[in-house]
Structure 1
Amino acid sequence: MMAAQTQDFDVVVIGGGPGGYVAALRAAQLGLRTALVERESLGGICLNWGCIPTKALLHAADTLRRIRHAGALGITVSAPEVDFGKLVARSRQVSQRLNRGVAHLLGKAGVGVFMGTASIPAAGQVRVAGAQGRPQLLRAARTIVATGARARELPMLPFDGDRVWSYRDALSARSLPRSLAVVGAGAIGMEFASFYAALGTEVTVVEAAPRVLPASDEEVSAFVQQAMARDGVRFLVGARLQQGQVRADGVHLTVEQGGAAQQLQAERVLVAVGLAGNVDGLGLERTRVAVEQGLIRVADWGATAEPGIHAIGDVTGAPMLAHKASHEAIACVEHIAGLRQGAQHRAPIPACVYGHPQSAGVGLTEAQARQRGGEVRVGRFPLEGNGKAIAIDEAAGFVKTVFDAATGELLGAHLVGPEATELVHGYTLAATLETTEAELMETVFPHPTLSEAMHEAVLAAYGRALHI
């Protein structure tokens, strides 16, 4: 066995996704000798097989919808035709461009990048085994595990890349399926359901919970389901998958709903039932790092039970979001560098769903706010009362705010409709600054913009809305 070449660093980061590469960049900025190990593609799942390519596909679907509805604006166009192969190819090109961008940033920052599979033979050491070349042994006082997560399989429907899809397969399909069953109505399932339905696929969504987008505010979930149903998506909620069989003519599913069994058949099935942390093969069992149900247990600043080993991002559990991983990366590295001490402040993390209609939220849902006790004030403002929404012919949706009645604290905010994912940051900023209703009411929102609905939703919580 070839002896490993040894190199010394201050910090070694395992995983090159939005948690890992941001951690490496920040560490290098702070003057720490930094190494990054990535086994597949810089940028991780998010950039290569998740956040970015799905948004490229969804943008194409949104463009198609706008063309189809151009007649309502007085624009006559011929019936659009979809080149599915070109559409998918463009999404891959977008990812490849950003992948090269991450490599450039890491090189410019002086981060040592090692492409290969990482394992931890002992605390303070990371072994890198590549497909080619001499194995490397990286030594550092601090190791940051940012290995992310992968799609969770169903035993009865293992991924085969043909009939049974993971999100990767849905992103790189060679042809448009005539019919698609989506198992799981979380963000991933709903985004792909929206995309394929827009292109003409017959889509059925199966969700075990009593509603779609179970983590969202209930009113948002109901609105999204109704809107997508009008677009032709069929929903089976409160429905459990009992059996799945892959046959020559497609996938046959048995679903139990309300005590009755029903049969479904689809050309393809997308399984989107959650994610599992990437902890296998890391050698964590040789350390004191605690792993529970495939996730690494962490305390403040990503500290694990093994001194010197930290973990951030999806591998530490929900919410499994790229921006949360990046935020944790910076906090962890700055703690390592001595810039942050004491108890870690937990910033509000927004969640976004980019299908049609878009939805986004930050903080507590109305139900969660009421469950915690105390009086709450809830404001709702429909986009039908917003001039910009009417002008762009996208007045379906609403904005909702939840306040603590005693203190005026913004407990939560939820949006559904055009550009909801671009607007939610305003409420996130307000929550981060611990803004109350008083400051939000005094904030001047430009006219005419969709953001005015955010202002009106605050006013509505206190009986002061002007345009409803």
Structure 2
Amino acid sequence: MSSKRKVVVIGAGPAGYVCGIRLAQLGNDVTVVEKQYWGGTCLNVGCIPSKALIAAGSLLDKIRHADAMGITTKGVDLDIHKLVEWKQGVVGKLTSGVSGLLKQNGAKVVNGAAKIVDKNTVKVSGGSDGDVTLQCDDIVIATGSEVINIPGFTCDEKDVWSSTGALSPTEIPGHLLVIGGGYIGLELGMMYRKLGSEVTILEGTPGALPGQERDCVKVIERSMKKMGIKLITETFAQGWEAKGKKKIVTAKTKKGEEKIECDQILSTVGRKPYSADLGLENVGLTVTKQGFLEVDKQMRTKVPNIYAVGDIAGQPMLAHKGSHEGLVAAAVISGKNEEYDARCVPAVIFTSPEMSSVGLTEEQCKEKGLNYKTGQFPFAASGRAMSLMETDGFVKIIGDAETDEVLGVHMVGPEVTELIAEAALAIEMGATVEDIARTIHAHPTLPEAMMEAAEAVHGMVVHIYQKPKK
């Protein structure tokens, strides 16, 4: 393999642009093609704008409850147009930075829709750069994912929002009906509740956040109830009709058909990999039933010089996992002996309280027949959490009962989307529970809960009473 490769990266989301930058840093001739969003869904209409609005909702909620600290406020108003403008400013800074970073590192950028002609040729059309034919040694497919539309609820971003429409409102709906109780539905539903909407969430499974650690989910469900959010489980939206300015949604529930009146519908039933019109058939590539391209540990498809990274390369469909895959593919293309061998991928959910998870759940440990032990520490016993008036939740650590190796860490509570990094590092490096317990954590801080949970695994926690294990 020559030291310098000519590479075309299709897609400039977190997987594609990271791959493009690293390829350029390693001395390759790189062209990154993007047809719509520099920075992808995440930076433009996903992770970044949603977290900006969620932060605004949380700040507004804190202001409303500040009287417990002796802080009384009057006349607090929300200017939704200014909020959206601020959010868009955050997005603009980041997205303009993506194309800038690519160029600064020596990568070329091309606007338009890419189509693979053969394993060494990509045609780009319909963009501001006109029709372009690119010859290359390697192709990296990083096309991301798109919204799933369910029958009767096509997202037109007017009557029926996807997350895209929900992140650019012109007004706060009186009653928001959310279809889907996964992390996107809960994040946005709780955000709108804090901004003033009445919120109803329909979920097809028996509980919110299917697939997540149930002990953590129970805390989220209690919080939703406390906030006044109505969660209706084992329920499926069938269709809707307009009634003046209102919308009447027909839902199939455990008790039969139900009509729910609302002002706005938000559909958050999931996303699917984007592979339409890519020309995959021209190189003999086909996607799985779930829409993914199969890849090996070096991110290669069955065509040796064509790679796939990010959402199209399989679960979990998370930005940080895609970025890591992009780095792996760039290294492999550059002749380095690299492969995707991450032991764990952290998941973060910006609900209220926040939730995060990495490694195995208890259910997965049981399925694998592992001998494990757990330790848990509540934020109600954390001095720092008390000072923040955010004491709901806990840190839970799962350790191997024989080797003491950390198998999984699950958290729900204040700032746990930040705290999970320590847990991910522990699992990635093969740390033991004792390693965490022996690490001196600064006081008073939230991460102390991680140290205390580790001590709890061994029955030696200090700041709560732990009944001796028999």
The answer (yes or no) to whether the contact 1:9–1:138 under 8 Å persists in 2 is no
Aligned residue for 1:319?
316
Q: Return the alpha-carbon distance in structure 2 between the equivalents of residues 37 and 247 of structure 1.
A: 44
* Partner AA of 1:319 in structure 2: P
Cα gap change, 1:105 to 1:131, in 2 (>3 Å) = closer
| Corresponding position of 2:213 | 217
Q: Structure 2 counterpart of 1:283, which letter?
A: G
Query: TM-score, normalized by length of structure 2?
Result: 0.95
- Alignment correspondent of 1:234: 230
- Map 1:53-132 to 2 at 5 A: 53-132=49-128
Partner residue of 1:255 out of 247, 251, 258:
251
Question: How far apart, CA to CA, are the structure 2 residues paired with 1:156 and 1:368?
Answer: 36
User: C-alpha distance in 2, partners of 1:133/1:452?
Assistant: 53
CA distance in 2, matches of 1:432, 1:448: 27
Contact 2:34 2:111 in 1 (8 A): yes
Distance 1:333 1:41 in 2: 21
Letter in 2 for 1:349: V
Q: TM-score, normalised by structure 1?
A: 0.96
1:375-394 mapped onto 2 (5 Å cutoff): 375-394=371-390
Q: Which residue of 2 aligns with 1:195?
A: 191
Partner of 1:121, secondary structure, is: strand
Partner residue of 1:309 out of 306, 311, 324: 306
1:415 maps to 2:407: no
TM alignment of 1:110-189, pairs within 5 A:
110-189=106-185
Equivalent position amino acid for 2:418 in 1: E
Aligned residues of 2:112 and 2:130 also touching (Cα < 8 A): no
| 1:296 correspondence with 2:293 | yes
Greater mean alpha carbon deviation, residues 221-230 or residues 344-353: 344-353
Gaps of at least 5 residues in structure 2 are 465-470
Secondary structure at 2:117 match in 1? coil
Equivalent pair of 1:68/1:79 in contact (CA under 8 Å): no
8 Å contact from structure 2 (residues 11, 40) kept in 1? yes
Q: Which residue of 2 aligns with 1:451?
A: 447
The one-letter amino acid paired with 1:333 is A
- Distance in 2 (CA, whole Å) between partners of 1:111 and 1:177 is 44
Number of residue pairs matched by the alignment: 460
Gaps of 5+ in 1: 1-7
The whole-number CA distance in structure 1 between the counterparts of 2:333 and 2:39 is 23
Distance 1:454 1:89 in 2: 38
Separation in 2, partners of 1:134, 1:270: 36
* Aligned mates of 2:382, 2:256 — CA distance in 1: 44
Q: Show the counterpart of 2:13.
A: 17
Counterpart of 2:300 in structure 1: which amino acid?
A: A
Give the CA deviation at 1:214: 1.1
- Determine the C-alpha separation between the residues in 1 that align with 2:243 and 2:54: 30
- Identity, % of aligned positions: 37
Match of residue 328 from structure 1:
325
Q: 2:354 aligns with which of 353, 358, 365?
A: 358
- The yes-or-no answer on 1:441 pairing with 2:437 is yes
Instruction: Name the CA distance, whole Å, in 1 between partners of 2:146 and 2:340.
Output: 27
Q: Distance in 2 between matches of 1:282 and 1:347?
A: 31
> Does 2:24 match 1:46?
no
User: Are residues 133 and 398 of structure 1, via their aligned partners in 2, closer, same or farther at CA, if it must alter by over 3 Å?
Assistant: closer
Q: Please give the secondary structure, in 2, of the residue aligned with 1:328.
A: helix
Q: Distance in 2 between matches of 1:247 and 1:139?
A: 55
User: Secondary structure of 1:378's partner?
Assistant: strand
**8 Å contact kept, 1:157–1:245:** no
Please give the alpha-carbon distance, in whole angstroms, between the structure 2 residues aligned to 1:220 and 1:133.
Answer: 49
Partner of 1:300, secondary structure, is coil
What amino acid is the match of 1:337?
Answer: S
Comparing 324-333 and 400-409, the one that deviates more: 400-409
Matches within 5 A, 1:390-401: 390-401=386-397
Q: Is the 8 A contact 2:139 2:305 kept in 1?
A: yes
The 1:221/1:133 distance shift into structure 2, 3 A limit, reads closer
SS of match in other structure, 1:226: helix
Give the letter aligned to residue 329 of structure 1. Answer: G
In the TM superposition, residue 162 of structure 1 has moved relative to its aligned partner by 1.1
C-alpha displacement at 1:133, in angstroms? 4.8
